[in-house]
Structure 1
Amino acid sequence: MSDALQVKSGSLRIGDRTPDFEARTTHGPVKLSDYRGRWLIFFSHPADFTPVCTTEFVALARHQDKFEAMGCALLGLSVDSLYAHLAWVRAIEDRFEVKIPFPIVEDPSMAIGHAFGMIDENASDSAAMRTSYFIDPEGVIRATTCYPHNVGRSVDEMLRMLAALQLTDAQDVLTPEGWQPGDDVLAIPALSDQDISREEDWFCHLVKNP
């Protein structure tokens, strides 16, 4: 994890390039840069065998095919050891009859958590590690979400966010509040005085989804 350790602690922002790291996971050694060329959702959780995180992992596993169909990989992380990860994955499979198909990174020193700003540099535990990073194929952070330890993330919202990011990359449009794939989108507002005077809704104009 040498590359991660060289990064100054502090929250990474939208538009920042992610620091690379190499770490052990439930699927063997992984480098973050291995995911270049495709979308990635890199998400952290406070600890294994916690109830909220267990429900999230079960839901993510059951929606894995939807993320794959959108060209997006999933990568989890917590401060627990690889052995704890493996035991938790096995317990989830036994209890919920679902396999966890994506890797889970171990971060016992919290080096990655600090480097990514998932936790404050002075934090003594991982209670605040509930952040998700939506990373584009170039390794740039395009969106983030951060939840408290007692509120579960929505997998449907993660899929919606990913679809919106991919659409606005491919088309010169905006997505409105509550947008779902297939819904109408917003046109980029006109900038000329002529267009503004001609169109009453120039600043908020819905158009058909391309």
Structure 2
Amino acid sequence: MSLTIGDTAPDFEADTTDGRIQFHDWIGDSWAVLFSHPRAFTPVCTTELGYMASIKPEFDRRGVKIIAISTDPAEGSAEWSKDIEASQGAAVNYPIIGDTDHAVAKAYGMLPADVEGDPTARTPAQNATLRNVFVIGPDKKIKLLLIYPMTTGRNFDEVLRVIDSLQLTAGHAVATPAQWQPGSPVIIAGSVTNDAAKEKYPDGWEEPLPYIRVVPDPTTAA
């Protein structure tokens, strides 16, 4: 199954380090980040889970829930969490899904449909496709999908930046340009006519090209 932006994130029931959850119910009216790991006790992922724990307040502030997934049983991930805290200086403060039957990984297109058997018998290399980040909106639609190689740690500050853009553009008819940061100017969406734009932005806009209309960030403009 191949998923892309705009698709409904598959619902599932699974055991986690915080107990059993129904995914869509767990998300509720929040945003969510689901990020996957090929196995517990892997080096790059250890740094990633620790960093996510350290910046969880930033996700909380944006109304975003964090959840990780590994093919290991939940109790194995709980043991892994001890290593993460000891080495990274931050205790894991969000649930880790134990996807022992590979059902979630398959539903999200991260492992082939014919994968089966004991997940602890599979090596991280066999699970190399489990290096994904999904940002999911309150409507349960996938808003962002990132896939990383085994050897490259993920940039979760960039995930926060994209979430800021997603939440801004969901509430205003704008888009964010390259390298945008919160508070920086934005672009009026192409779907907004000039007449409609004049009503919303009576002071006008900068127009470096006829199809680029730049205005201040509407959430910070006086």
Shift of the alpha carbon at 1:191? 7.5
Aligned to 1:86: 78
Aligned to 1:129: 130
Q: Give the match's secondary structure for 1:205.
A: strand
Aligned to 2:178: 177
Range 41-50 or range 119-128, more displaced: 119-128
Q: Give the match's secondary structure for 1:29.
A: strand
- Relative to structure 1, the CA distance from residue 110 to residue 183 in structure 2 (aligned partners, 3 Å threshold; closer, same or farther) is same
Which ranges in structure 1 are unaligned for 5 or more consecutive residues?
A: 1-9
Aligned to 2:50: 58
Aligned to 1:208: 216
CA contact (8 A) 1:75 1:103 kept: yes
Counterpart CA distance in 1 for 2:156 and 2:78 is 23
Counterpart CA distance in 1 for 2:41 and 2:28 is 30
| Amino acid paired to 2:72 | D
| Amino acid paired to 2:29 | G
Counterpart CA distance in 2 for 1:171 and 1:100 is 34
Shift of the alpha carbon at 1:121? 2.5
Aligned to 1:7: none
Aligned to 1:30: 21
Q: Give the match's secondary structure for 2:212.
A: coil
Range 10-19 or range 160-169, more displaced: 10-19
Shift of the alpha carbon at 1:37? 0.5
> Where in structure 1 do 4 or more consecutive aligned residues deviate above 4 Å?
190-194
Counterpart CA distance in 2 for 1:208 and 1:192 is 18
Counterpart CA distance in 2 for 1:193 and 1:162 is 28
Counterpart CA distance in 2 for 1:159 and 1:26 is 24
Shift of the alpha carbon at 1:180? 0.8
> What is the TM-score when the length of structure 2 is the normalising length?
0.83
User: What is the CA deviation profile of residues 91-119 of structure 1, one whole-angstrom value per residue up to 9, with x for unaligned ones?
Assistant: 21223331101000011221110111122
Range 73-82 or range 93-102, more displaced: 93-102
CA contact (8 A) 2:136 2:143 kept: yes
Counterpart CA distance in 1 for 2:143 and 2:103 is 22
1:101-112 aligned within 5 A = 101-112=93-104
User: Quick check: 1:70 aligned with 2:62?
Assistant: yes
User: Quick check: 1:40 aligned with 2:24?
Assistant: no
User: Quick check: 1:99 aligned with 2:91?
Assistant: yes
CA contact (8 A) 1:134 1:144 kept: yes
| Amino acid paired to 2:165 | A
CA contact (8 A) 1:190 1:203 kept: no
Range 89-98 or range 175-184, more displaced: 89-98
Counterpart CA distance in 1 for 2:77 and 2:12 is 19
Aligned to 1:152: 153
Counterpart CA distance in 1 for 2:179 and 2:215 is 15
Aligned residues: CA RMSD: 2.0
- Relative to structure 1, the CA distance from residue 109 to residue 184 in structure 2 (aligned partners, 3 Å threshold; closer, same or farther) is same
